[in-house]
Chain A
Amino acid sequence: MKKHLMAYPYALWMLIFTMIPLALILFYSVFAIDDAGIHFTLDNFKRVFEPLYLAVFWRSIKLAAESTIICLVLGYPMAMILAGKNLSKKSILVVLFVIPMWMNFLARTYAWMTLLEKNGLIATIAGFFGIDLPSLLYTEGAVVLGMVYNFLPFMVLPIYSVLVKIDKTVVEAAEDLGANPITVFRRVIFPLSIPGVSSGITMVFMPALTTFVISRLLGGAHFTLIGNLIEQQFLTTMDWGFGSALSIVLMLMIMLSMGVTMRYEKENEGGGLW
């Protein structure tokens, strides 16, 4: 029995449902179809660099970067605390940490809508103390909050999985040699955790960059991100060419950021999310 033949149906499936669809996007981005037939054009890519759209790209990168930094600052100490617990406590805490992730992504975002809205719980509680909060929903802050909330576990888990693997004797050796806790962290623990940090950054930055749900539900119509722009091209303005060009640029950005962080991930494939 030639066992490798068993992969062929899958290969065919991938060809039809992954490779050809991606080729279609590439096709629509560089070919225009009109009465004169099909001809090659770079107009769609030129449009991407118009100031109006560059502003959207800039905003998406800015918001995704802000959420990534907040996730890192909030998540690193959390990962250290999780990694420092003894074994039985550790596994319970990690499971507890992962559970919210298993709630539907839309549900988690929707939950924040009900908290942040004008008559929502946060505004009501603030009202009890006589604080009149400005509208919290449909602000830039709400979008960043939604991203941090949804993607924080993606930062904590990879860092945690690297931290638990660090050889305790290395840390002890540094302490024996007279390093204070800050030096131990700066010179030993942090450098060893770089693979986890880099895959955490990728895993938060990528979905944050490509989302269109969080920005739509928590940002209203005010915060168009790349994702929203692409969605508009295909569902509202029906400009497939421009939408495809935007998708290609987005894919290139993802690949570029993956390429940068991959360098640090040699021994930590996938960052332990599996």
Chain B
Amino acid sequence: MVKNVFKKIYTFLIFLFLYAPIIVLIVFSFNESKSRAHWTGFTFKWYVEMFKDQQIMTSLYNTVTIALIASIFATVLGTAAAIGIHHMKKTPKTIMTNLTYLPVLNPDIVTGISLMLLFILVKFPRGFFSMLLAHITFNLPYVILSVMPKLKQLDNHVYDAALDLGATPAYAFWKVILPQIAPGIFTGFLLAMTMSIDDFVISFFTTGPGVSNLAITIYSMARKGISPKINAVLSILFAGVILMLLIINNRMSRDDGRKENVA
């Protein structure tokens, strides 16, 4: 009994530690005055000001468009790559799989700097497009690592059966393989989206003057001082991410359910 109470208190304290800063952040985005310690009244004015702030709006636009384009591109290229790697012989397969892990394990700062050096050296103008290329690069492994397990679960006989029944390889691919690996592709896409929206370090090094995503804007604002406008942006961003998390979670649990049905 005493042990259970202790467990509850411990869980409560850890969750308090994890959530308190976020809750404080959200609560003070509705605070009338600029103070982060004294509650002076409820207001939406920081949200209004946030929408009027050109810099915040442009960086929000950059964040969303880069995340969307980069994850769509990475999903297509990554899915093709996963299928290709899956059909490789043992040695090239091992090499490619290890190569895929490299950007995941490499420190962000090294990835960012190495890409920056590349862009400078080939005189590729740094800005929106360099950032987009960098995002595609670090998104690719997440797509591949989500699709690969689905390919391993595939029953190759079904594909063969489709061919025996007269389907062309392309038709069999669209009608048999793709629907089966679709959950992995979708998970990879959403994972890529979230990584892209969350990224600061790699974007910071690969972008040029004047072009920033939300994380970079928050960083430069936070270094200058604190503004409730940032709280407002972050609250909205957090709400968006929670929504996406709910979709992913829903997706994954449905997926698990399907697996159980098969078994």
Do B113 and A230 touch across chains, with their CB atoms under 8 A apart?
A: yes
Q: Taking each of A1, A107, A123, which has the highest tally of chain B beta carbons within 10 Å of its own beta carbon?
A: A107
Asked if A117 CB lies within 8 Å of chain B CBs, one says yes
Q: How far is the CA of A251 from the CA of B107 in the complex (A)?
A: 7
Interface of B, secondary structure class, is helix
Do A106 and B80 touch across chains, with their CB atoms under 8 A apart?
A: no
Asked if A198 CB lies within 8 Å of chain B CBs, one says no
Please name the residue on chain A nearest to B7 by beta carbon. Answer: A81
**A residues within 8 A CB of B110?**
22, 25, 210, 230, 247, 250-251
Do B117 and A119 touch across chains, with their CB atoms under 8 A apart?
A: no
Please name the residue on chain A nearest to B249 by beta carbon. Answer: A95
Q: Provided the pairs A11-B96, A121-B24, A149-B21 are in contact, do residues A213 and B201 lie with their beta carbons within 8 angstroms?
A: yes
State which size class the interface on A falls in: 35 or more
Do A7 and B19 touch across chains, with their CB atoms under 8 A apart?
A: no
CB distance from B22 to the nearest CB of A (A): 6
Do A230 and B222 touch across chains, with their CB atoms under 8 A apart?
A: no
CB distance from B150 to the nearest CB of A (A): 12
Do A110 and B10 touch across chains, with their CB atoms under 8 A apart?
A: no
Q: How far is the CA of A212 from the CA of B205 in the complex (A)?
A: 12
Q: Provided the pairs A8-B84, A96-B15, A111-B21 are in contact, do residues A230 and B118 lie with their beta carbons within 8 angstroms?
A: no
CB distance from A18 to the nearest CB of B (A): 6
Q: How far is the CA of A124 from the CA of B116 in the complex (A)?
A: 43
Q: Provided the pairs A6-B84, A99-B245 are in contact, do residues A104 and B234 lie with their beta carbons within 8 angstroms?
A: yes
Which residues A212-254 have CB closer than 8 A to chain B? 212-213, 216-217, 227, 230-231, 234, 240, 243-244, 247, 250-251, 254
Interface string of B81-119 (1 = CB under 8 A from A): 101111111001000100110110111111101111110
CB distance from A79 to the nearest CB of B (A): 10
Q: How far is the CA of A124 from the CA of B234 in the complex (A)?
A: 23
Asked if B42 CB lies within 8 Å of chain A CBs, one says no
* Interface pairs (26), CB distance under 8 Å: A4-B85, A6-B83, A6-B87, A11-B81, A16-B118, A18-B137, A20-B118, A21-B118, A24-B121, A25-B117, A78-B10, A102-B198, A102-B241, A102-B245, A104-B197, A104-B218, A107-B25, A108-B21, A111-B24, A115-B20, A149-B18, A206-B107, A212-B201, A213-B200, A234-B116, A251-B107
Interface residues of B (CB under 8 A from A): 7, 10-11, 14-15, 17-22, 24-25, 28, 35-38, 77-78, 80-81, 83-89, 92, 96, 99-100, 102-103, 105-111, 113-118, 121, 133-134, 136-137, 140, 144-146, 169-170, 194, 197-198, 200-201, 205, 214-215, 218-219, 222-223, 226, 230-231, 234, 237-238, 241-242, 244-245, 249
